[in-house]
Amino acid sequence: MIKSNDGPPILRQQSDGDAINVAGSSQIWIDHCSLSKASDGLLDITLGSSHVTVSNCKFTQHQFVLLLGADDTHYQDKGMLATVAFNMFTDHVDQRMPRCRFGFFQVVNNNYDRWGTYAIGGSSAPTILSQGNRFFAPDDIIKKNVLARTGTGNAESMSWNWRTDRDLLENGAIFLPSGSDPVLTPEQKAGMIPAEPGE
């Protein structure tokens, strides 16, 4: 059942093509889903949504997998806090696992198996903490990079806080961290999941 506040379930008249779409919502937990082959994204979390956890899901056979933040003009996403934990990204997934804008994101103990374009990406200066993930790169030599930074010049994007901690990089996977270890707010600390080393 999908609800808004304490009121009745929302009746949506049409879909934008996402398998799951979360907009303008908070304190959301998406758990134990298996998603593939939607007409747009598999999971989009946008328009001011925050305090969202995506866990124990399997994402397969799709190009645009997991979007966190609508686009670079949606400033209501600046306060987004999201956790992506214990998921499997495998079997012909291309990119956006997740694709982050603004906000603070913990990506922890996920399994990435042969992405198409990149695994984790972003724009608009998000903070991304990648912890204890397993990244098994595709065989194509030009697709070894885990990360994709977009929407700005290289000098600016390399100041964004994108950090790696105990990630396992296999089959030539490359994770080029940037920025520095962020000082976490009490709210950010409270939402962190303890990371195990990638395996």
Residues with catalytic annotation?
A: 96
Sequence-ordered list of residues with C-beta below 8 angstroms from that of 174, at least 6 positions apart, any chain: 137, 144, 145, 146
Distance in angstroms (rounded) separating the CA atoms of residues 83 and 107: 6
Burial degree of 35 (CB within 10 A; 0-12, 13-18, 19+): buried
Place of tokens 């007409």: 39
Distance in angstroms (rounded) separating the CA atoms of residues 32 and 124: 30
Positive or negative torsion for Cα 135, 141, 143, 146: positive
Burial degree of 117 (CB within 10 A; 0-12, 13-18, 19+): middle
167: tokens are: 């990630």
